Amino acid sequence: MKEQFLFIDFEFTMPDGRSKGIKFYPEIIEVGFVSVVNEEINQTYSSFVKPIQFPTLSSRCKRFLNISQKNVDQGIQLKELAEKLNDATSRYNTTVITWGNMDMRVLKHNCDAANIPFPIKGEVRDLCLEYKTFFGNQNQTGLWNAMKEYGKDGTGNHHKALDDALTTYHIFKLVEKDKQYMKKPAPATIGDIVDFSSFKKRISSY
């Protein structure tokens, strides 16, 4: 079975203030993912998602994410999202990569609240944590700030799920390239230093 890296990003609901009666928790309202197989983009996917517990978006959420109520009202159901993710992670030996751990935490909480099995199959890697550890930073760095530290810009618009997933993919390639560069080469052996074939020829000529 082929190996796949699946870069996932979600956007979530936000509260305006205190919710009445029910304790607020974030729900997924947009998904974007990028499937990479054999170091090539195999598929991209983007959709809005209908929130269940808090279906009406706060003005803060709409303003911050530049998203409308109509966008999410026309989105897919959480169950459809789970089916999409299950299918995407089941086709290949999959490693899911996110920027930070919030995406998987919210997905699991949303699925638990809706009695939907957690859909992700395979390993999950937090690239934000890997970035922090690799560069020895004290604090975690925002996705687009990490790109700026490489002297590059993010893809498209920040806080658009597919654009952030693509940006995560691009920074993953940069970090992996740096990891390869930083690997210490294996110590040279005497065979690497001395060309025994020419040495034998010289010996036999005497």
Give me the active site residues, please.
11, 159
The rounded distance, in Å, linking the Cα atoms of 10 and 65 is 11
Judge contact between 37 and 199, C-beta under 8 A: no
Residue ranges with strand state E in 24-74 = 28-37, 40-48
Residue ranges with strand state E in 99-146 = 123-126
Query: Which of 102, 13, 113 lies closest to 54, judged by CA?
Result: 13
The rounded distance, in Å, linking the Cα atoms of 85 and 81 is 6
